[in-house]
A and B are shown apart, each in its own frame.
Chain A
Amino acid sequence: MFASPIVDGNLVFIGSCAGAFYALDIDNGTVVWKYDITKDGDQTSFHGNPLLVEDVIITGTDGRSIGHVYAFEKATGKVRWKIPFTKGVDNTTGLPTDIVRSDANAFGVAFGDELICFDWRTGKLQWTFASGFSKERFEWSHSPAISAQRVFFGGLDGVAYALQARTGKVLWQRSLGAKIMTAVTTSGEDLVLGTSDNKFFRLSQKSGEILDEFVTSSKPWWAFAATDNALLLLTNNSRAADVLHCFDRDLKKVLWQQKAECEWSTARPFVWNEIVLAGNGASEVYAFRLSDGVLQWTHQLSGAIRSFGWLNDLLVAGTIEGKVFTLAARSIK
């Protein structure tokens, strides 16, 4: 499992990389409904986080010869609509990113580095925009971000783009000199992202002007978590996520760092109640205080911990092996 568990009402939604999407009862983990995506073709995986809007949950899938964006009715799992994707790169096709929304439109990035805009109510494609990525070999595309009727997209061609959300018109583009390795994240009126030459950038949302640049010793990995005062990200050294960084919002300084003893296995840090959570390949959840990075507690699970979700005092963790754990605050005796 790669995508984050999403909790809504009394349901936990999970996309399993064994080819099924589930809605589980938050109280006991029983299956409320399940959709088998393998019946729609050679596809097995969910890599991006879904979008919840009104009575549907919208998520992307990927596979060898086909992938889709599905809109499931939250209560029943009935497919409201689906968009198929059959063009990919190196035997991989589909849409592996988070789905984000601006008014009537929703957005994701398909393999091949193509930004897709569709009507979230009907699934009707509105426009697409391809970066200058060569498509000569497989690369992960990264999630877009939305702000003020604009959609931002970090291309595998090393260019950050801002497009008008409604029309797809390019408002600005900024070459950053190396492949963009993270989701574009909004931070106040700025954007932050990381590139394959170990740099982090803060850009103006309005113009794309580079406001700050920060160099680290390892590669940015997957996606930032943004809080009021901090930006958190994992970096990846020799194919293993090794350091959890906490930066100030201007990307001018590192507030604290935590180096993993066993590689971090979470795709993105998770911030919850002034605590930052990261999981590792030894099945341990680490909880650090957001303000200073001091370790607060650990919790042993089973499997490489990939993602987190929450509802009130419940914490949901998913593992690469496909297990979901729901943890509740201990009762005080």
Chain B
Amino acid sequence: MKTKLAATLFLLLPFSLYAQTSASETSANMAQSPFELRWQFDAGG
């Protein structure tokens, strides 16, 4: 059982080494866009 648990933890390890954030989770601190629209063009597809 201990061996199985250790193997499971080992398999999960790579995914715990980095944080996967959702784009919306960090939006509270984001700045206003530094851009403004100059022009737009519609090519139809």
Contacts and interface: CB of A to CB of B under 8 A. Distances in A.
A18 B43 contact: yes
Contacts of B22: 258-259, 261
Nearest to A19: B45
Nearest to B24: A261
Contacts of B23: 258-261, 280, 286, 295
Interface of A: 1, 14, 16-20, 22, 24, 28-29, 31, 44, 243, 253-261, 280, 285-287, 293-299, 314-315, 321-330
A29 B30 contact: no
A21 B13 CA distance: 49
Interface in B17-40: 17-24, 26-27, 29-40
Contacts, number: 107
- Of listed A18, A24, A297, residue having the most chain B CB within 10 A: A297
Chain B interface category by residue count: 20 to 34
B40 A326 contact: yes
B39 to A, nearest CB: 4
A327 B36 contact: yes
Given A24-B41, A323-B40, A325-B40, A257 B26 contact: no
Interface of B: 17-24, 26-27, 29-45
Contacts of A321: 45
Contacts of B41: 14, 22, 24, 29, 31, 323-324
Contacts of A298: 27, 30, 33
B21 A259 contact: yes
A260 B22 CA distance: 6
Nearest to A15: B43
Given A29-B39, A254-B17, A285-B33, 14 more contacts: A24-B41, A253-B18, A256-B21, A259-B20, A261-B22, A280-B23, A286-B23, A295-B27, A297-B33, A324-B41, A324-B42, A328-B35, A329-B34, A330-B36
A322 B43 contact: yes
B26 A18 contact: no
Contacts of A260: 23
